[in-house]
Structure 1
Amino acid sequence: MPQTPDRLSVSGLPTTHVRNMFMEALIREAVEGNTKAFGALIEAHQDVVFRVAYRVLGSQDDAEEATQEAFLRAWKKLSRFRFQSTFKTWVCQIAMNTSIDLLRKRKRERFFKPQREDKERETWLSQFPSSEPGPEQQLATQQELKRIQEVLDAMKPKHRVVFCLREIDGLSYEEIAETLGIAPGTVESRLHRARKDFQHRLNKLASKAGSHGG
């Protein structure tokens, strides 16, 4: 029995092939200065770019800022795009670097400014909903989630983003590799280190909290 291709377009070509051709045409138009074509590229990729930025930064406001900056950098560098990777991989790598730059900036700012309560942390932590009904259980869960956030903040960005894309977003190794522009084997090794680091730091914090509580 012959293999069934991806969903077929009207022309009979696989949909993925048609989409790739369409994206390539948009990129070539954008390189020529067509802002509408670049706007279409932004619309097609803004969700995945925001996801990468958010997983690095853990703040919706910062992720939105990094997303805008990433697309601005992409526009300025578009003439250097050589079609050796997909536009998605290329722009996500820019988003990764932009987010790391912003993360370093925020850390410097926190060093010189008093720490304030960040409402964005609630957005980040809300991805780990509690099913416990009682207030005491909810308080315990909230404390645990704060420890999780502290652990994620302490991890290396390249490990944190792989960890979150896999463990929170549920992406496959291949999807993470395509998004970040790295080999699946690199995803696997980074995820292995990230899981060990996450568990080690979480256990250390839990032990510290237990000793203080005792």
Structure 2
Amino acid sequence: MVDNLDVRLAKLARKGDQRAFAEIVELYKDKIFHLAYRMLSNRHEAEDVVQETFLRVYKNLDRYDENQKFSTWIYRIGTNLSIDRLRKRKPSFSLDADLTESEGMDGYSLIPSDNRTPESEMLLSETQRIIHQAIDGLPAKYKTIMILRYIQDLSLQEISEILDLPVTTIKTRVHRGREFLRKKLEYKL
């Protein structure tokens, strides 16, 4: 049986302890936001996914299996909600589209600076923009796995549990996702 802070908080929240649920929210809100933002590339949609994730967690605490990792359970909820939003989107991709976001920021701009020169900063931000654009262009089944693996830094086993797919399928999709990115980036970098 898994016994850690998450499970103890889930047990308390299940019994109606609102402070325990608030601690769960505090522990996971940023992680779920970053996951959703990377998948959706839209701050407002990511915030909506975070809210919906915690609503579902709250409503379904009685369904949480304490023998599985809480993080896997909550990531599965957030990932599925993000995938649902991606599926509902109407394709609006244009090769001529302006690639800047309405907020003027992306996830990379949140990374603290390490005193780079203006020239290296420009090269790095352009490279990050190209990589971000390439990840955004992946088909959803690869995009989700690449974000969970390389941005959320989850293991293949954790991704398997979150997406309810065999580890071999995850390995295949990671490999194909990397190949897809490699081909896209060969032409841009």
CA distance in 2 between counterparts of 1:182 and 1:84 reads: 19
- 1:106-143 per-residue CA deviation (whole Å, 9 max, x = no partner) reads x33958xx97952456323546x9x67549x94x7666
Could you say which residue in structure 2 is the equivalent of 1:108?
90
Counterpart of 1:44 (choices 18, 27, 33) is 27
Could you say which residue in structure 1 is the equivalent of 2:76?
93
Q: Per residue, is there more helix in 1 or in 2?
A: 1
Partner of 1:108, secondary structure, is: coil
CA distance in 2 between counterparts of 1:87 and 1:40 reads: 13
Could you say which residue in structure 2 is the equivalent of 1:76?
59
Partner of 2:106, secondary structure, is: helix
Contact 1:70 1:98 in 2 (8 A): yes
Cα deviation, residue 96, structure 1: 0.4
Cα deviation, residue 152, structure 1: 1.6
CA distance in 2 between counterparts of 1:149 and 1:168 reads: 11
Cα deviation, residue 185, structure 1: 3.9
Partner of 1:83, secondary structure, is: coil
Indicate the structure (1 or 2) with the bigger Cα radius of gyration.
1
Counterpart of 1:31 (choices 14, 31, 35) is 14
Corresponding position: 1:53 with 2:36 = yes
Counterpart of 1:160 (choices 143, 149, 152) is 143
Cα deviation, residue 92, structure 1: 0.7
RMSD: 3.8
Could you say which residue in structure 2 is the equivalent of 1:118?
101
Q: For structure 2, list consecutive stretches of 5 or more residues without a partner in the other structure.
A: none
Contact 1:93 1:180 in 2 (8 A): yes
Contact 1:59 1:121 in 2 (8 A): no
Counterpart of 1:187 (choices 166, 170, 177) is 170
- 1:29-74 per-residue CA deviation (whole Å, 9 max, x = no partner) reads 3223333222222222223322322231233333222111111112
Q: For structure 1, list consecutive stretches of 5 or more residues without a partner in the other structure.
A: 1-16, 208-214
CA distance in 1 between counterparts of 2:76 and 2:12 reads: 22
Does the C-alpha gap of structure 1 residues 175 and 84 become closer, same or farther in structure 2, counting only changes over 3 Å? Answer: closer
Q: TM-score w.r.t. structure 1 length?
A: 0.63
Could you say which residue in structure 2 is the equivalent of 1:8?
none
State which drifts further: 87-96 or 153-162.
Answer: 153-162
Greater RCO, CA 8 A, separation 6+: 2
Does the C-alpha gap of structure 1 residues 132 and 98 become closer, same or farther in structure 2, counting only changes over 3 Å? Answer: same
Q: TM-score w.r.t. structure 2 length?
A: 0.70
